[in-house]
Structure 1
């Protein structure tokens, strides 16, 4: 869907654990080494190509503190992968999100006309997704994202501990 974006793609992540069996995460748990070239080259290239076309990609993460092991992994992955590819990333501690109205699931919004909700099981396993074009859902998601973005801390300034 990034390939079809013309102006902007925004992504809101609100969970503390994702895909616990992901090979890159499992490898990181053992070695604490991030190898973006082996595991993430396709994603990095897609983001770079999208940004090169003039599309802004922004990602915001609402996280519990102290962070989970998976969020620590994401944090360590963010600079060499997301930021290096051209994404803008902000973090919002969960205790600062209490006054925000948020959808029940993580999502992407593409050019303010398409929402992709992503569903996860309680343990973080991916279980599916849903596309929506309902203007009310799009407005809910874009408004929620912008509220998180406004309060969020840029990745370059966010500290885990």
Structure 2
């Protein structure tokens, strides 16, 4: 089933207990990030205002006892984009998202899905399909038990190897 962007955003308000996320790209080109990334490249300060909506969602969810965990599988040395992403992570962690980083070389033996995904409450997987330039296209929801099992196993294996944001040194 395809989701529109509004339906996708509602997922993060409506889930019950756990939202697990794996990112595997070295760069993205999402609309919300283009200007802040360009400012960072030019050495300009970031007020992180563009993160407010997500941080509010995280705060509300964690107050309700919901868990948000994200694992980023990254190439090292980090791409410029991932160096920037690392610099934007503290407000997200402070708002309640447990974010961890894992070097790609440590996940070679893990069976990973072909796309970034969210595993919601262990009941559905949301796959994000990106263009080569990192622009999100289709958002696909699956409740197939095989997809759920693959993503749960992949997330757990990646998470065991991942380093908490506060300990990961971007280079």
Give the alignment's TM-score, normalised by structure 1: 0.94
Q: Which 5+ residue runs of structure 1 have no aligned equivalent? A: none
Write out aligned runs for 1:30-69 (5 A). 30-36=42-48, 38-69=49-80
Q: What SS does the corresponding residue of 2:53 show, helix, strand or coil?
A: helix
Q: State whether structure 2 residue 22 is matched by structure 1 residue 12.
A: yes
Q: Distance in 1 between matches of 2:137 and 2:46?
A: 25
The size of the alignment, in residue pairs, is 159
Structure 2 match to 1:100: 110
Structure 1 match to 2:140: 130
Give the alignment's TM-score, normalised by structure 2: 0.89
Q: Distance in 1 between matches of 2:44 and 2:122?
A: 37
Runs of 4 or more above 4 Å deviation: none
Q: Distance in 2 between matches of 1:113 and 1:102?
A: 18
2:37 to 22, 25, 29: 25
Write out aligned runs for 1:142-157 (5 A). 142-157=152-167
Q: State whether structure 2 residue 81 is matched by structure 1 residue 75.
A: no
Q: Distance in 2 between matches of 1:54 and 1:122?
A: 36
Structure 1 match to 2:97: 87
CA RMSD of the aligned region, Å?
1.2
2:13 to 3, 10, 24: 3
Q: What SS does the corresponding residue of 1:142 show, helix, strand or coil?
A: helix
Q: Is the 8 A contact 2:118 2:125 kept in 1?
A: yes
